[in-house]
Amino acid sequence: MSDAQFKTDAQGRLVPIDRIKPIDLARDELVADIVKKARVVSADLTAFKEATFSDIIAFIELSAERYGAKVGGEKGNVTLVSYDGRYKVLRAVQETLTFDEGLQAAKALIDECVHEWTSGARSELRALINDAFNVDKAGKISTGRILTLRRLDIEDDKWKRAMAALSDSIRVQCSKSYVRVYERVGDTDRYEAIPLDIANA
């Protein structure tokens, strides 16, 4: 018997095709067909993304040449709008931040400030600071909550040193670039994204 008369099951066993239920064969054929089409769409999206990023970078360089400026790197958000304002292309870079060991120095200085101010400190301030350093279920500190501390207007030398340590401890863990394409809704000022992923299509 040839391999064409067998199919491999989920456990890696060769099963004669005539022993497989017709509905299971039909399901297998449907899944294989969908996967084949999905690979084509995925490859097209990858090619579209790479070409679009390259085109945007080339356009930014072309635009900068008008002023004799040289731009470098791929960072920064850019919005390009069609002449009639109907279409908009957004290239955005999202950075994931983390903290190095300097965060511990900042926390120690903040703790000293809170201890010194305990008698006169509002309970809300203590709660805000304690909450900022709480970890989530995955054991990670929320960068957003930590960075809110820098917005507090506190004129204290030790606090300022703590905020400096906090700023110095920030590191970019990774950055992710993405592109979104929008179309204006009728004659309104509202834009809707043209779906580029299957979940939003």
User: For residue 146, what are the β-bridge partners?
Assistant: none
Average pLDDT on 134-141 reads 65
H helix runs in 77-141, sequence order: 102-117, 123-132
Q: What is the pLDDT of residue 85?
A: 92
pLDDT: which is higher, 184 or 136: 184
Please give the backbone phi and psi of residue 97, each rounded to the nearest 5 degrees, phi first.
-95, 150
Domain ranges of the chain: 1-73, 101-168
Mode of pairing for the β-strands spanning 87-99 and 170-184 = antiparallel
What band does 166 get if pLDDT is binned at 50, 70 and 90? Answer: confident
Q: Write the CB contacts of 62 (distance below 8 Å, at least 6 apart in sequence).
A: none
Residue position matching structure tokens 């305990």 = 118
Average pLDDT on 105-109 reads 84
pTM: 0.59
Read off the pLDDT of residues 126-135 as tens digits, 9 standing for 90 and up. Answer: 677 777 777 6
- Extract the runs of DSSP E, i.e. beta strands, from the chain: 6-8, 14-16, 78-81, 87-99, 170-184, 191-193
Residue closest to 4 by CA, chosen among 146, 18, 129, 151: 18
Average pLDDT on 60-70 reads 77
Lowest model confidence (mean pLDDT) among 7-16, 44-53, 127-136, 155-164:
127-136
